Amino acid sequence: MIRFFLAVAPGILLALFLSLDHTRYQLDDALIYARYIRNALESQGLVYNPNEYWNALSSPLYGVLLLGSAHIFADVLTAQHALSILLLCTSIISGAALLRIIGASYTCAGAFSLLIASSQYFYTIFGMESFLFATLLFTSLSLYQLISRHPDSVPLYLGLALALSLTLLVLTRGEGIFVVFILAGYHFLSKRPLPNPALWIIPIGGATLFVTIHYRLYGDLLPETFSAKMAQGSSGFWGGHLAFLKGVKMYTWYFGKAISIPFTLSLFLILTTLFYYRKAIAIASCAGYLCLLVVFYTSLKIPFYHWYYAPILYFGYFLLALSPQLASLLNKISPRAVKISKTLVLCVLCAFTYFQYTTTRGFVNSKYHSPYKTIGQWIEKNTSKESKVASVEVGALGWYAKRYIIDILGLTSPLNAHFLAQKKLRKWTEHYDPDYMVIHEPLWPQEMAANMYLKRGARKITRGIPEGFAILEIKRFSTKQVLEED
């Protein structure tokens, strides 16, 4: 145990070092979580807009943890940052633990911790539930790997731990159900005995508790997040069935448009490792889960949101960290060949880690400032508290504006996602009567309702507003009047 923590300690310390500097970056969707929590702490309910009971949070479990953290820190953003740091570290530890369980060396566990801690990608998803999901995913796979060592019967304590871990995984993100399907399929194909009936108490109890509480809070059985994302995909504005595959453009975050030698070598090691370890239960299960996930997202035209790719990147880094074990395949040649090949692989990993660190260091030290933060602060200062503001992006805007926000895309506002799916881009104005509308210049397709207001004399405000944006002041006449005259 001591050797394990010594192996992962450099990665944990690096993650802490980079995270503590990483306070200026704010992910727009993370601030949607933050606004829900702030309203709950202010006794307005776990809602985005006061008195509007609509759940746009994709992770019930993460929401509960964030609410608890906010009570401890008495500041939502501080709590969100601290929780992200903690969960990033637990994801590193759980992934490294899985490596050890499948027989990898302490060197591999240490490599995994450094690869994760040095990757810029993971610092771009602070505030989201991705670290919690990765922690529970690695934990579930570790527990099942341990269970596989008992072919005749499953020890009750391991069965209970796996049932709890999988239940929490699904409550973190609904896509976790695919992990349940994969592990259940592997279990039955291996002709193992049926699980103890007592184990069903945990998932059934967890699901019943969640549905009951959710129904009492919102009047619906499940959150609206997934239906809103499906509607966005159906609209076609984010692309067709291959929209999710646009995630490959994250490559340019690190390497620009050129093909990088470190990336190419690392990709080769990942694919080679996957080939040689494809029969390992944990690796085969994770690969199967990710295949189902990609098929699911692409078939439903789910848009490209970069935090959706966290399980894929975690798995890639996991295989990359495992790659030094490939050197053992050269045992038949000579021990010297093993040492040379292992040294070469570790050199590639070190170079890749250093390259990642340099880009990540620049990112966390950058003076990031969301234009929606400036716009939100302008709205809070220059509009009445009763004002209603419409926008296609509502995270930072809603957090800083502290006004009733109309989400044109429909994630946090009822009905609008349905209109977007039908490409009825002005239909939302029949149900909402905004005083202001935040727009891009030039207009985004989803903002075409702005033309209706401009035709009727809405005032465009650009002074004090970031370049590429404007605010329409439309409070001088009602939407109903506009529609009647149009």
Provide, for the chain, the percentages of residues in helix, strand and coil under a 3-state DSSP scheme, each rounded to the nearest 5: 65, 5, 30
**Residue 21 corresponds to which amino acid?**
D
For residues 441-445, give the mean pLDDT: 93
CA distance 88 to 85: 5
Strands (E), 314-435: 388-391, 404-407
DSSP 50: T
The SS3 assignment for 433 reads coil
Sign of CA pseudo-dihedral 297, 302, 303, 307: negative
Quick check: 309 pLDDT over 70? yes
Quick check: 330 pLDDT over 80? no
**Residue 73 to residues 130, 289, 303: CA-CA distances in angstroms?**
21, 36, 34
Q: Can you read off the two tokens belonging to residue 207?
A: 């699901």
- pLDDT single digits (tens) 332-373: 667 777 788 888 888 888 888 998 899 899 888 887 778 999
- pLDDT single digits (tens) 113-160: 999 999 999 999 999 999 999 999 999 999 999 998 887 777 889 999
Longest dimension (CA), the chain: 86
Q: Can you read off the two tokens belonging to residue 159?
A: 């069965």
**Residue 285 corresponds to which amino acid?**
S
Picking from 173, 105, 168, the residue whose alpha carbon sits closest to that of residue 139 is 168
Strands 436-440 and 469-473: antiparallel
Contacts of 152 by beta carbon, 8 Å cutoff, 6+ apart: 193
**Residue 187 corresponds to which amino acid?**
H
Cα-flanking dihedrals φ and ψ of residue 439, to 5°?
-130, 160
Angle at 390 between CA 441 and CA 224, to 5 degrees: 120
Determine the pLDDT at residue 258.
57
- Residue tagged 């005995």 (tokens): 193
Picking from 220, 209, 170, 216, the residue whose alpha carbon sits closest to that of residue 54 is 220
pTM over 0.85: yes
Cα-flanking dihedrals φ and ψ of residue 407, to 5°?
-90, 105
Determine the pLDDT at residue 136.
98
Angle at 310 between CA 308 and CA 29, to 5 degrees: 50
Q: Please, which pLDDT band fits residue 434 given cuts at 50, 70 and 90? A: very high
